[in-house]
Amino acid sequence: MGEIIVNEELTNKYHVFKDREEAAVELAKMIRVKELVNPVVLAIPSGGVPVGVTLALMLKCEFNLIICRKLHFPNNPEAGFGAINPDGDIVFNEELINYFKISRETINMVVKLEFEEIKKRLKTFRLAETSISNRSTIITDDGLASGYTMLSAIKYVKKRKPERIIIAIPTASISALSLLAPQVDIIYCANVRSDIYGFAVADAYREWRDVDNTEVLSYIDKFRGKGLT
């Protein structure tokens, strides 16, 4: 079971961050930097990119993307029944699949659609894969609701034999942390909230909007401009 480090002053509070960049600043304060071995930050796009770039700049370490996709319900793009990573590895939320009686045909259709989107984004963002072998690998996003997209990212990272796996996340549900803690070494989470009445990542932010591909590329250019790649 990985260690979970939280900011108790922010527990079960709403709108605690101005935006994703401010959230990353708070996260950076929590991370025990001296324990890191040649660290690298991997961000899940799109919302995780402002967090990841800001975090990597503050930690003065390498940055890259890990493009994982939620497997969306066909009639609800905000909800998912699992996730897929760039290797094509899939993690399913079997409980939801069984509860909503999602057909194998629907599952296969969504898996194919989202894997094609991963390949499309890999071409769009044009980043070579970073070697993470024997390195402290920090995976980040703008928040964790169910945790399954992060779980698919962890599966991808584990294959590449990092020194340790760290999740650094601005906000998360208790259930997501419980799902992920056994899979990693440390989780840093600034804002933990109960999900008894539902959980929305956006509720941690005072300013919330979608991050498009153009903005992702802008953040990548910003990082390159600092000469840290």
pLDDT in tens, 125-134: 988 899 999 9
Q: What percent of the chain has pLDDT over 70?
A: 97
**Quick check: pTM over 0.85?**
yes
Whole-number pLDDT of residue 208: 97
Distance of CA 7 to the CA centre of its chain: 19
* Domains of the chain by residue range: 3-67+133-225
Q: For the domain made up of 3-67+133-225, give the CATH fold.
A: Rossmann fold (3.40.50)
Q: Which residues pair with 90 in a beta bridge?
A: 84
Among 169, 207, 208, 209, smallest CA distance to 190 is for: 169
pLDDT band at residue 196 under the 50/70/90 scheme: low
Q: Count H helices and E strands in the chain, helices first.
A: 7, 9
**Which sign does the torsion angle of CA 95, 168, 16, 210 carry?**
negative
Q: Which residues pair with 64 in a beta bridge?
A: 42
pLDDT in tens, 20-39: 999 999 999 999 999 999 99
Instruction: Decide if 27 contacts 144 (C-beta within 8 A).
Output: no
Task: Indicate whether 69 pLDDT > 70.
Answer: yes
Average pLDDT, the chain: 95
